[in-house]
């Protein structure tokens, strides 16, 4: 599997603030790996004892621990603070999606004012939704090019729309438009 990106990952909560540098992004992986060398290069302390590996912060506080299982150190997710940070983000994203991609400030308000019974989620401050960022992105209007076609049918703008999910009364599945740039005459064909 190939890495498609490299960067800095910062995990922050009330209990910890962890930054890993030179992190590789490998979309095909189904789990996360933490390199001992990368953890040490990022300023963390890694200790191995018998069947346990522990990553400590600069002050000696445990960030992550893993148990040895068949020559690999595997962390038990429910025993690590990092997992809880990830879990709260996943829960927040789940509710964000359930509420039709409602903004996170509104979801925090629902939680704080106890407007939804049973909604007990921690919404991180720096959480963002990639889907919202791409689909709710606005664009400034195009500037006027200042030139129009000099002759009728000199420039014709066209667009096709379809395959429509619902057929028209006549059974059409597509719309085709032609707009003359000089006269703005518009022709619509339904097929």
Q: Are residues 26 and 62 in the same domain?
A: yes
Is position 137 within any domain?
no
Instruction: Tell me how far apart the alpha carbons of residues 86 and 115 are, in angstroms, rounded to a whole number.
Output: 25
Question: For the chain, what is the domain count?
Answer: 3
Is position 37 within any domain?
yes
End-of-domain residue from the set 55, 75, 95:
75
Instruction: Tell me how far apart the alpha carbons of residues 132 and 10 are, in angstroms, rounded to a whole number.
Output: 21
The total of other beta-carbon atoms located within 10 Å of residue 110's CB is 16
Q: Are residues 92 and 66 in the same domain?
A: no
Q: Are residues 48 and 89 in the same domain?
A: no
Is position 111 within any domain?
yes
| Residue 56 in this model has a pLDDT that exceeds 50 | yes
Is position 106 within any domain?
yes
More confident residue, 106 or 63: 106
Q: Are residues 13 and 49 in the same domain?
A: yes
Tens of pLDDT, residues 128-139: 888 887 777 777
Is position 138 within any domain?
no
Is position 149 within any domain?
no
Among 122, 79, 117, 86, residue whose Cα is nearest residue 104: 122
Task: Report, as an integer, the average pLDDT of 19-48.
Answer: 76
Q: Are residues 115 and 175 in the same domain?
A: no
More confident residue, 30 or 84: 30
Q: Are residues 11 and 71 in the same domain?
A: yes
Q: Find which of 19-28, 64-73, 176-185 is predicted with most confidence, using mean pLDDT.
A: 176-185
Q: Contact, 127 vs 135, CB < 8 A?
A: no
User: Which residues span the domain enclosing 160?
Assistant: 156-190
Q: Are residues 14 and 70 in the same domain?
A: yes
pLDDT at 1: 66
Is position 139 within any domain?
no
Is position 177 within any domain?
yes
Percent share of the chain, pLDDT over 70: 84
Q: Are residues 123 and 164 in the same domain?
A: no
């Amino acid at each position: 599997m190939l890495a498609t990106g490299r960067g800095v990952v910062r995990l922050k909560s009330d209990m910890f603030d962890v930054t890993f540098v030179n992190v590789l992004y490998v979309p095909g992986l189904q789990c996360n790996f933490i390199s001992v060398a990368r953890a040490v290069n990022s300023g963390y302390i890694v200790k191995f004892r018998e069947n346990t590996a522990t990553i400590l912060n600069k002050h000696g506080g445990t960030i992550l621990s893993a148990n040895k299982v068949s020559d690999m150190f595997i962390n038990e997710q429910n025993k690590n603070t990092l997992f809880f940070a990830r879990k709260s983000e996943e829960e927040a994203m789940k509710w964000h999606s359930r509420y039709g991609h409602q903004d996170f400030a509104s979801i925090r308000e629902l939680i704080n004012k106890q407007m939804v019974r049973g909604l007990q989620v921690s919404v991180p401050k720096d959480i963002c939704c990639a889907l919202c960022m791409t689909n709710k992105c606005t664009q400034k209007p195009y500037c006027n090019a200042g030139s129009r076609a000099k002759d009728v049918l000199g420039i014709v703008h066209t667009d096709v729309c379809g395959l429509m999910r619902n057929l028209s009364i006549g059974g059409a599945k597509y719309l085709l438009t032609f707009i003359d740039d000089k006269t703005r005459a518009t022709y619509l064909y339904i097929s």
